[in-house]
Chains A and B, each alone.
Chain A
Amino acid sequence: MTILLRIILILVSLFTVFYMLRRIRKSQMNIEDTVFWMVFAFGLLLFSIFPSLADVLAKLLGVGSTVNFLFLSIIFLLLIKQFLMTIKISNLETKLKTLVQKIAIQNNDKK
């Protein structure tokens, strides 16, 4: 990894943590929803400070270059996150629907 890439990675991870904490400070975000991003940022930070760690893992998996290994793992993680978010949105839609239906039936009962 080049020094520039490492610096960019470090900055990105620090910015992620900073932004998340700011959201929480303003009471705009649930703490449990930040867990994924904190861990993500921490991993990125780890790899950019100790690039040899990524080298070893890349070699172990037989990926040609370390940067490719980083890209691959980031894409993979984001795919998982995307999938989990789809499930969450599905659940939210169901809950919203149930809520609206129950209120409507309650209002009807009152008449």
Chain B
Amino acid sequence: MKTLIIIPAYNESENIERVVNNLILNYPQYDYAIVNDGSRDNTVKICKDNGYNLIDLPVNLGLSGAFQTGMMYAFEHNYDYAIQFDGDGQHRAEFLEELINEAEINNIDIVIGSRFVTEKKQKSLRMMGNNLISAIIKMTTGKKINDPTSGMRLYDKTVIKEFAQNINYGPEPDTIAFLMKNGLLCKEIQVKMDERIAGESYLNLKASIAYMMKMCISILLVQWVRKRGK
């Protein structure tokens, strides 16, 4: 099975080398593609100096635009699975195999690398958002996703094509909920994640509130009328 690891990178010069070198050295069986989302630091230079497989967006598109570029690449190169993987070192490559196995053996369309299948959620503001999204997904699809905001997800061939060719297919919980409602199979696998070592997350308070608003409206309201892209 051909697997592509998509690594969206925005200002990740402090992390990208560590993350990608680990993939190349220890997991050479998977292909990878870094999508540079118009970084303002020297992410591009580091990638070019190391000879990494880089897709360099000339302007900043945001996570969903950057990730979609990766999906277009995966679709055009005929990959069976695409895995969304953070460039900041939060995700551990040792769990990639488990995600792929799950998709292969049980024929699952979307496999989420979840922090909370067997582990308990700690109580914090961020986890409250996580719980809220989890609750509205349960309400509208009837299925439980413990860690909807996890950024480590595997998508199979049919989903790759849909992501590559349609608008409103961001790599976010609302798209997952929409696809689940349309009968695609989604499963969670317990993984461990690390704290980000360097650099800063793009989710500040204002962005978080906008994010939550969008998720609520999208999951509660919009997905009832959305037509599924082909």
The answer to whether B214 has its CB under 8 Å from any CB of chain A is yes
Which residues of the partner chain A approach B203 to less than 8 Å between Cβ atoms? Answer: none
Assembly CA distance A17 to B222 (angstroms): 10
- Among listed B84-92, B98-106, B145-153, B166-174, interface-contacting one: B166-174
The answer to whether A77 has its CB under 8 Å from any CB of chain B is no
- Interface size of B by Cβ–Cβ distance < 8 Å? 18
Smallest Cβ distance from A105 to chain B, in angstroms? 10
Assembly CA distance A70 to B176 (angstroms): 38
B214 and A32 contacting across the interface, CB-CB below 8 Å: yes
Which residues of the partner chain B approach A88 to less than 8 Å between Cβ atoms? Answer: none
Number of A-B contacts (CB under 8 A): 46
The binding surface of chain B is classed by DSSP as loop
Residue-wise interface mask of A (21-53) relative to B, using a CB-CB cutoff of 8 A (1 in contact, 0 not):
110111100111011001100000000000000
The answer to whether A82 has its CB under 8 Å from any CB of chain B is no
Assembly CA distance A49 to B63 (angstroms): 39
Which residues of the partner chain B approach A81 to less than 8 Å between Cβ atoms? Answer: none
Chain B, range 41-75, C-beta contacts under 8 Å to A = 58-60
| CB-nearest residue of chain B to A22 | B225
A31 and B222 contacting across the interface, CB-CB below 8 Å: yes
A39 and B213 contacting across the interface, CB-CB below 8 Å: yes
Residue-wise interface mask of A (3-32) relative to B, using a CB-CB cutoff of 8 A (1 in contact, 0 not):
000000000000001000110111100111
B217 and A25 contacting across the interface, CB-CB below 8 Å: no
Smallest Cβ distance from A90 to chain B, in angstroms? 14
A30 and B221 contacting across the interface, CB-CB below 8 Å: no
The answer to whether B199 has its CB under 8 Å from any CB of chain A is no
Which residue numbers of A lie inside 8 Å of B, CB to CB? 17, 21-22, 24-27, 30-32, 34-35, 38-39, 95, 98-99, 102-103
Which residue numbers of B lie inside 8 Å of A, CB to CB? 58-60, 166-168, 174, 210, 213-214, 217-218, 221-222, 225-227, 229
